[in-house]
Chain A
Amino acid sequence: MFRTQYDSDISIYSPEGRLYQIEYAMQAVAQGSTALGLKSKTHAVVVTLMRSSDELSSHQRKIFKVDGHMGIAISGLTADARVLLKFMRNETLHHKFVYGSNLPTGEVVSSLAMKSQRNTQRWGRRPYGVGLLVIGYDGDKTHLYQTSPSGNCFSYYAQAIGSRSQSARTYLEKNFKAFPELGLEELVLHGVKALKESSGKETLTKLNVGIAVVGKEQKFEILKPNKVQTYLDQILQTEGEIEIENENENEKDEEAETLELKLD
């Protein structure tokens, strides 16, 4: 499908009123591996599938802590995500320094949206090629937001982004009505089950699945691989397959920790 007449610059509209450059940027998000988020009344969770380009390299981190009460999962260009992460960390820390309280998640996301929009209307800039799922707990409420290269941001009960995310979204759509009353464990289990829908041929292991939680009396925490494994075991058990852990798994865990590059 040739759209070359109207897609060479961010400042050119198509006759249908579309900005193709922004849509191409959203494609970059859709190319990243799956990241999904879901929330209950007391907790918000993100679950991600971490890719590794080959056996020798580490798995690409997709979850980052912004502040004690807030974190993000990314899909798309990690380098762009780092810039936005730095921005969010700065905003939250500045607010904490000046006002002595946690910056509400919605406010950071709004600032992010403004920042993203600026790049769609300025000479020489390009849209950020990354979509974020922001989870946070403030004002006695859980929050889940999605931001996109277009500068749009929405609040969600549950959402999935990245490649093959539609399968996860379908699962979430079927089950989201039950989420508000669930406890943390069940919420995470739903997240992992949803991830399984989009994982395709890839087997879920503790090394390529990332989980982070935040909520009431729960500071934003990225779960350690061994904790992730407990959830994977529960999923596999319910499906009738039980994986036998061998000693090699522990060695791999240590190697994975040393390989883990500090990407932020």
Chain B
Amino acid sequence: METYLGEKQQARQWSPYINNGGSCLAVAGDDFAVIASDTRMSLGYSIKTRYSTKYLKITEKCSIVSSGMQADIFTLHKVLKSRAQIYEQKHGKPMSTDAVAKLVSRLLYYRRFFPYYTFNIVAGVDEDGVGCVFSYDAIGTLERVKYSASGSGSSLIEPVLDNQVALKNRNDIKKEEFKLTKEYAIDLVKDAITSAGERDIYTGDFVEISVIDLNGTHEDKFELRFD
């Protein structure tokens, strides 16, 4: 039986989505979390701006970084910021990191049929003071992990974190002997995103890095390659 397949479409259909590139990552320790993102915003092979933030501090104990389409990132962050304020006014205290994580998941699923083109990572310390990282897909699938990377450089960064944080495929060190200290994690995050900047054309310019622990959030910024 023959089926009529129809003519192949010549013209490309308009898409509401574009990818502005950029990389994000986060690593959780026993009592801290490190979260970082680059600030380059690209379109095709051009750079739109060298500084467009992908990072938002939601509470003193929780932050989010997002990669993907800058318009959706900006809007999602705006909505999240408002929701955090509403929560604080209603409950008299800031949102816990778990609550933020769940809220982000719900906000994303709310747009299940026209998703935010964002790939988010939420990181912070939970109610017990333990560091946590939550990673998402575009429609809000939520998973708590020890580390995560997203964005154009994620395939370059994730294997590094697998090897250095989870100690996968290593014969030289045993899990019991390894302790993830804050200094080690900060250096690792810096090195990982710097290395991504070397090879990924969409990652570069500046990095916003943030260390979160029970004392609060310490934000910092450093330069990457401008090429």
Q: Restricting to B64-109, which residues have a CB under 8 Å from any CB of A? A: 78-79, 82, 85-86, 89-92
Contact call A97/B82, Cβ cutoff below 8 A: yes
Q: Restricting to A250-264, which residues have a CB under 8 Å from any CB of B? A: 262, 264
- The number of chain B residues with a CB under 8 A from chain A is 9
Among B82, B89, B90, B91, point to the contact of A96 (Cβ < 8 A): B82
Interface size class of A (residues with CB under 8 A): under 10
Contact call B82/A262, Cβ cutoff below 8 A: no
Chain B residue at minimum C-beta to C-beta distance from A89: B89
Interface membership of A182, Cβ < 8 A = no
Contact call A93/B85, Cβ cutoff below 8 A: yes
| Interchain CA distance A264-B82 in the complex, whole Å | 18
| Interchain CA distance A97-B85 in the complex, whole Å | 11
Contact call B91/A262, Cβ cutoff below 8 A: yes
| Interchain CA distance A4-B91 in the complex, whole Å | 44
Chain A residue at minimum C-beta to C-beta distance from B86: A93
Binary contact track A72-106/B, C-beta < 8 Å → 1, others 0: 00000000000000000100010011000000000
Among A89, A96, A262, point to the contact of B92 (Cβ < 8 A): A262
The total of Cβ contacts below 8 Å across the A-B interface reads: 14
| Interchain CA distance A167-B58 in the complex, whole Å | 45
Interface secondary structure of B, over-half rule? helix
Contact call A264/B89, Cβ cutoff below 8 A: yes
Task: Report the minimal beta-carbon distance from A95 to chain B, rounded to whole angstroms.
Answer: 11
Task: Report the minimal beta-carbon distance from A163 to chain B, rounded to whole angstroms.
Answer: 28
Interface membership of A65, Cβ < 8 A = yes
B91: chain A residues at CB < 8 Å are 262
B79: chain A residues at CB < 8 Å are 97
B78: chain A residues at CB < 8 Å are 97
Chain B residue at minimum C-beta to C-beta distance from A96: B82
| Interchain CA distance A93-B78 in the complex, whole Å | 11
B82: chain A residues at CB < 8 Å are 93, 96-97
Binary contact track A42-58/B, C-beta < 8 Å → 1, others 0: 00000000000000000
A264: chain B residues at CB < 8 Å are 89-90, 92
A89: chain B residues at CB < 8 Å are 89
B85: chain A residues at CB < 8 Å are 93
B89: chain A residues at CB < 8 Å are 65, 89, 264
Task: Report the minimal beta-carbon distance from A171 to chain B, rounded to whole angstroms.
Answer: 33
Task: Report the minimal beta-carbon distance from B82 to chain A, rounded to whole angstroms.
Answer: 5
Chain B residues in the interface with A (C-beta under 8 A):
78-79, 82, 85-86, 89-92
10 pairs across A/B with beta carbons < 8 Å?
Answer: A65-B89, A89-B89, A93-B85, A93-B86, A97-B78, A97-B79, A262-B91, A264-B89, A264-B90, A264-B92
In the complex, the 6 A-B pairs of residues with the closest C-beta atoms, listed nearest first: A97-B82, A262-B92, A89-B89, A93-B82, A93-B85, A97-B78
